Amino acid sequence: MTSFCQLCNSTNLHAHFQNDAKSKSSLAISFCTNCSLIQQQEIPSDEELKIYYSHNYRQDYKSTYSPKPKYVRRAGMTALDRIKFLESHVQLSNQILLDIGAGGGEFVYMAQKRGLRSKGIEPNLGYSTFSKEQYGVEVKTAMLSDIQDSSADIVTLFHVFEHMAKPLEVMKKLYASIKDGGHLFIEVPNILQADASPHNIYFKAHLFYYSKFTLACAASQYFDVVKVEDRGNLKVLFKKKPQSSENISSIQLDQIEYSQSRIKQKGWFEYLIHGKGIFKPFLRLERIVTELFMKQTSPKEILDSLYASRADFSRPFSKHQLKRGAAWSSAGGLGFVVVEALC
């Protein structure tokens, strides 16, 4: 049982219980009243995490040891949006990018097509092998500790950082791994977002639940914030500091109070009305229909088609591009039109 905050070392923790979104079992959660970080009270050891992510995590959450076509498509769509976010703030051409927790390698492949010298690491052998066999990209079966110093201009972690048991030690390692003047791009679930279902917030595999305040605080010894996007998932782009600081920055009292207030507001009313959760069944239906009518093509062909539909990264997906790139059925397109009209 962890009795102190992994971010600020405070022992002022307010404990309560939540249900795991997957198993529905009880999870012991703590809110730090000193910095507002939310963490699980039971933090596994490094060895336990290494075994779990090498052997069990992908099976537990995706029910497979290699991505299904629908997951390839979803990962490809998300990868394009992440590249667009990066490209808005960083010069990408010929930069060395390292994706930590690369999964099936879809982002590494899309980044390579965009002109980055991209590579990745992934602890699960099935997924890292899939990356190399399907896309021909460099994704090593490895852990964070295996990364060499000053080996990348840009390091990315997408829905990975919340799984890591020692956030400050991770930031120190990331700082060493990135070249001078380089960037760190992290995306995590956003504990303050309004559009997360009350049944889909807490997971046993998520050791920490970050806000824009606590994530910036965790990085503050080593990185400066460049850009924050917190509509839905939390995306933060950081730039490596010329010299690391001795201590993390403090979080302001009004930010802590705001976070505490937002957590209390979470519930079905906020999700359905403010978070527009009432429209999500239509979106889910559209996705189901789209994936049902997907052509039986290879993972690489799926990604190439998506990339071709997004030739101009300065603009968001249009319906025409999505239809062409994702092989929409007419029913899927109708689902999108219905939701668009409702919103």
- Mind listing the pLDDT tens digit for each residue in 103-137? 999 999 999 999 999 999 999 998 999 999 999 99
CATH fold of the domain at 43-247: Rossmann fold (3.40.50)
Q: CA 339, 340, 343 angle in degrees (round to 5)? A: 85
pLDDT at 62 (0 to 100):
57
Question: CB count, 10 Å around CB of 166?
Answer: 14
What's the pTM?
Answer: 0.88
Which is more confident, 290 or 242?
242
The β-bridge relationship of strands 13-19 and 223-229 is unpaired
pLDDT at 313 (0 to 100):
59
The boundaries of every CATH 3.40.50.150 domain in the chain are 43-247
Question: What does the pLDDT look like over 279-327, one tens digit per residue?
Answer: 988 888 888 888 887 777 899 999 999 999 875 655 544 444 444 343 3
pLDDT-based confidence at residue 233 (cuts at 50, 70, 90) = very high
HSE toward the beta carbon, residue 97, CA cutoff 13 A: 30
Residues 6+ apart with CB under 8 A from 290: 326, 327, 328, 329, 332
The span from the CA of 15 to the CA of 11, in Å, is: 11
Which is more confident, 68 or 156?
156
**Among positive and negative, which fits the CA dihedral 330, 336, 337, 342?**
positive
The span from the CA of 50 to the CA of 145, in Å, is: 11
Is a pLDDT exceeding 50 seen at residue 209?
A: yes
Q: CA 244, 7, 257 angle in degrees (round to 5)? A: 115
Is a pLDDT exceeding 60 seen at residue 339?
A: no
Is a pLDDT exceeding 80 seen at residue 168?
A: yes
Question: What does the pLDDT look like over 19-55, one tens digit per residue?
Answer: 999 889 999 999 999 999 999 999 988 888 878 777 6
Which string of b and e fits 16-49 if b means at least 16 CB within 10 Å? eebeebeeeeebebbbbebbbbbbbeeebeeeeb
DSSP character at residue 138: -
Which neighbouring-strand residues pair with 72?
Answer: none
The alpha carbon of 117 is separated from its chain's Cα centroid by a whole number of angstroms, namely 21
pLDDT at 241 (0 to 100):
98
pLDDT at 51 (0 to 100):
80
Rg (CA), the chain: 20
The span from the CA of 175 to the CA of 172, in Å, is: 5
Is a pLDDT exceeding 50 seen at residue 142?
A: yes
The β-bridge relationship of strands 26-32 and 38-40 is antiparallel
pLDDT at 336 (0 to 100):
29
pLDDT at 61 (0 to 100):
60
